[in-house]
Each structure stands twice: as structure tokens, then as C-alpha cells.
Chains A and B, each alone.
Chain A
Amino acid sequence: MQAKNLHLIVGLIAIIVALAILSLMVGPAALSPRAALAGLFDGEGVAGIIVRSIRLPRTLLALLIGATFGLAGAALQGLLRNPLAEPALFGAPQAASVGASFVIAYGLAGATSFAVPLAGIAGALLSIGGLVAISGRRASLTVTLLAGLALASFAGAATALILNLAPTPYAALEIAFWLLGSLEDRSIDHLIIATPFFLASWLLLALNARAFRALTLGEDAAASLGVDIDRTRIAVVIGVALGVGAAVAVAGSIGFVGLVAPHLVRRRVGSDPARVCLPAALMGAALLLAADVAVRLIPVNPNATTIELKLGVVTALIGVPFFLAMIFRERQLLAGAPS
């Protein structure tokens, strides 16, 4: 079991390294692997500028955001003991979208400036405060879920309202494209803004991984094993909101990675909801990196309003076939599992 787990992790890391190198090579000016790596390590010439200031931040962001989504999905599925849980459940990404859309709509900033991620992160933080205020600190999971649902719906409506009231059609279009998610033109500064939130999120979720394992027995049994259920719930809600909120704030909405990444690795770790966390994060990173390479490779009509396909579109397009394949393979097993 342990050896199998190690193989899985090493395999995923190898895939991520290969995809990262590919990500440094691919773009309007294609580079050979040798040129890309030379540009990365010595930073000289045009290749150096392209790799270090354009493709490296983008690659790192794809890695960090993908890992955050994968881990957040695994953590929420563990907390809720439900394989359908996904990071948007408590409204943090939707709230981040509201903040970012507002800034874009009213021309406070362009879609790639820092004001957008900062407003997005502020939105996500507000959603945490709102969730705790509505549901209370010792709320049951059901109340927390309902409060999250209310917040997510409200945030969705607020984004729609901002789109609706956008001062110009260009602003509306900019928001619409931003909402589809992209890592185009993101710089090292975006990385610096978001990384502390990612790290805080990972730490909070990793510290609660063992509680997810105990929770497989239900809340009473987990509490009797010494798990502080209230503290675990609030830590996971905050951890997910910090990470996913920052991710959405930087890159726009990217769906599916958080839902699908844990499923793709779960069987390999014996369905252990604690042990699934690290492989799910790595799988999330690999998926998002692959999607971000794909958007740069798939040719798009040059007369179109946008140069690249949007990332959120591609994650779903890549993710769904994987997901379907897994469902067909596991249909028998899932049929026997308790709901």
C-alpha cells in the first residue's frame, strides 16, 4: 500500500515536471526544450525574457492553482464524506468573482492588473465571514452547507447584476471572458500576491487530513476518536476559501479540477480520505498545467475577440472524458457503495 502510494506520487511528479518543461516551450514563439531550459537557467536573450517573465509565472501559477483546487476538492470530499463535493460549494470562488468583476466593470483596472486579484481575495474573505456569521461557529454541516449555498447563489446573482449593469459592452465582454478563466499575461506579481494564500490554505487543509480519515466513520465516531468536529469544519471552510478564492482572484473561474482530481487518484490510495490529499493536489496541478499548455496549442481563429481558448473551458473539456472513463470503470463499485 505504502509503496503503491509512493509510485503514484513519483509518477505524478514526473508528469508535472514534463508538463512544466512543455509549458515553458509552448507559446507564440515556440522554443526547443534546450532553449527553454537555457532561458530558464541563464535568463539571457529573448528566450530568457520569454521564459522567465512570461512563461515561468504562468507555469508556476498553473501548478499552484491546480494543486490548490485538487487539494481543496479532496479536503471537502473528506469533510463532507461525499464524492460530489467540490471547491465552489461554500461560495468562495463565486464571491471572488464578484469582487473581480466589480473592479473590471467600473474600469478601476484592466483584467490583468493587481486590483483584480486583490478585489477577488477580498470577496473570498468576505464570504468566509458571511458563512461563519450566518451559520454560527458550532453549526451543523447541513446548516453550513445551506449557508454556503445561499452565499454562492447570492454571489452568482451579484456577478450577473454587475454584468447586467456593466457601463459598456466592452466591460461586459471583458468580465465574461475573465469569468471563463485564463492564465494569459499573468506576471510574477500575481504569483507573489496569491502564493501566501495558497500556502496558508495547504497548511490548514493538511493539518486536518487525519480528521477526514476518522470522519469516514461518521461525526459521532470521529468525535469519540478525539477529532474536534467544529474546529475541523471551520478550518476546512477557511482553508478552501483562502486557496480557491485566491486562485479565482488570479485566474478567473476554473471549474472541474477540484471535483475530478481526487477521483482520478482515490482508488490508488484505497479510498483513504487522508492519503488522497497529496496525490489529488499533484493530479490537480498536472491537469491544470496540461490544460494551460493545451490552450496555447489549440489554434483559434485569429479574427476572434480572444487569442487563446479560455482555461475554464479546456479544463472541463479535458476533464470530462477522464471523468467519464472513470465512471464507466467504477460503475460496479460505486453501485455497491453507501450513498
Chain B
Amino acid sequence: MSMLKAEDVVVRLGGNLVVDGATFDLKAGELAVLIGPNGAGKTTLVRALAGLIPAEGRIAIENRSLASFAPRERARRIAYLPQGHAFHWPMTVAAVVALGRHPHGDVFSGLTEADRAAVGRALLATGTAPFAARSVTTLSGGERARVALARALASEAPILIADEPTVSLDPRHQLVVMELLARIAHDGAAVLAIVHDLALAARFADRVLLMDRGRLDAQGPAREVLTPERIAAVFGVEAEIIDSGVGPIPILHRPVESPPRPAQ
């Protein structure tokens, strides 16, 4: 079933064309990984998909226009994990993760049993339960990243959009998080994650979306999208693809001599 559909999505920020006609269709049960060099427009695209900034073109959730959703209704369909993992007050991990239940309550309601259960599942899934009672401001960067993910998971929305969920994680926790995203997808959610590590993208993505200078250049299975030619053209890196036991893994050798385009 089509969960999140984009047709010719165009986003302008301050007069600049940042996203130039993105089209794709994300299905339930699918983990899509959005890759692309810095400044390609990945974050802008996912913010538009999450309904946080206005966009031209058509974005639909479950075949219904995104614009027709009230904010809280939309929030129950799409969980969004922004970059940076900001926590402004020294609240406990459990209290922060419970914020994921915000779209399910109303002005005066506290947490219901269902809310508590969802928070508990999110804490367990991300391995953050052991420090649930600690203040978020005392955590390491990696712990904070997992708490932020737990917050997004706690809403148990059918669509999860995560902007760099593996950033600042050690190798083990990068794998833990990617496995978790894959499991959520295979349990029926539609997951779209921005990831910079091409090896992680190749290994876990059901579909890779390659973005460059505002355009979705290619999409499909990693084996088809991540070719040495494309990696050289888009990222400016000489690469080879090795068929390993866990699938095709790009090995990055060195920056290509002449960059693919003048620096902006």
C-alpha cells in the first residue's frame, strides 16, 4: 500500500530552488534510505514531506493530500526525527520519550496505559531503558541520539522519517539503529531515513534514493543505484563495489582529482 507519495515536489527557500521536482512512492513495509552530498536538499525534502515547510507539487499520505491533515492528525501518521537531537530542558529520558505520545493526548490528559506501553516498547527497542530515569542533559552524544529515536518511535506512527539517525553513534549502535529501522519497516511501517554512510545505506535499504543538487537522480535497489560511476559523479569519490557476505558494499578510495562541479 502506498503510504507516502511525492509527485513533482518543489521547495523554494528564500527564493532558492532547493528541491527540484522529487517524485517517489514509499510503500508500507519498506525502508528507503535517502543519500546525497551536503547541500543536496535532503533535509529540506524530508521537512516538506513531514509537513513542516510548504511545498509545491503533491504530497499524499495513504492517498490523501498531506495539506488536508490537521497538525495533530498528521502527527499521528508521521513520526519525524530531526537532525541534531536537541533537548532544551534537563528532563528525564522517560519524560522525553513520552513526548512522542503528544499527538495522541489532548490539552489536559495525562499518559494513558497505552501511552505508557508504547513508551516502554520504544525504550526497550532503542536500548535506552537502563537510563530511563536519568536527565537527558547528562547523556553522551550516542545515548542522546538513541533517546531521540526512541521519542520518534514512541508515537508508533505508520510512517517514520528520520534525518541522520545514525550520526554520532559508534559502529555497534549504528548497526543497532539500522537493524531497528529495518525491523520497524518489515513490521509494516514505511521508513525514510537520511544516512551519510553509503555502506550502511547499501546494506540496509530496500530502496536507495540518491539526491543531488535538488533532484532525485536515481532510485532503486542499492545494487542498481550505487555504481562506481554514480558515486564518482555525485559524491566526487572514487569507489568500488565489493560483494560481501552481507551484500554489495561500496569501498571509498579517494576523492576524484577534479571535483564533479565547482564548489558553491
A residues apposed to B, CB below 8 Å: 81-82, 207, 210, 213-218, 220-221, 223-228, 270-273, 333, 336-338
B114 CB to closest chain A CB (Å) equals 17
Quick one: CB contact mask for B67-104 with A, threshold 8 Å, 1 for yes? Answer: 00011111110111110101111111001100110110
Known: A81-B89, A224-B75, A271-B91. A214 touches B99 (CB 8 A): yes
Contact A220 B88, beta carbon cutoff 8 Å: no
Q: How far is A195 from B254 in the complex, measured between Cα atoms in Å?
A: 71
* Across the A-B interface, the 10 shortest Cβ-Cβ residue pairs: A226-B75, A226-B72, A224-B80, A81-B88, A218-B86, A225-B102, A271-B89, A220-B82, A226-B71, A226-B103
Q: Is B151 an interface residue (CB 8 A)?
A: yes
Return chain A residues, CB-CB under 8 Å to B100. 225
A273 and B86 contact, CB distance less than 8 A: no
Beyond A220-B82, A225-B75, whether A273 also contacts B89 by CB under 8 A is: yes
Q: Name B's interface SS.
A: mixed
Residues of A close to B90: CB separation below 8 A = 271, 333, 336-337
Inter-subunit contact A216/B103 (CB<8 Å): no
Tell me which of B51, B76, B89 contacts A216 (CB under 8 A).
Answer: B89
Instruction: Report the bound CA distance from A56 to B92 in whole Å.
Output: 42
Report if A270-B137 is in contact (Cβ < 8 Å); known contacts: A224-B78, A225-B75: no
CB pair B87–A338 under 8 Å, yes or no, is yes
Contacts of B50 in A (CB 8 A): 224
Task: Give the distance in Å from the alpha carbon of A15 to the alpha carbon of B86 in the complex.
Answer: 37
Residues of B within 8 A of A272 (CB): 89, 91, 95
Cβ of B17 < 8 Å from any Cβ of A? no
Tell me the minimal C-beta distance from A78 to chain B in angstroms.
9
- Report if B52 contacts A (CB, 8 A): yes
- Residues of B near A273 (CB, < 8 A) are 89
Q: Are A224 and B95 closer than 8 Å at their CB atoms?
A: no
Beyond A216-B89, A220-B47, A228-B71, 19 extra complex contacts between A and B, CB < 8 Å = A213-B99, A214-B102, A217-B96, A218-B86, A220-B52, A220-B80, A221-B82, A221-B86, A223-B52, A224-B51, A224-B52, A224-B78, A225-B155, A226-B73, A226-B76, A226-B103, A333-B90, A333-B137, A336-B138
- How close is B128's CB to chain A, nearest CB, in angstroms? 15
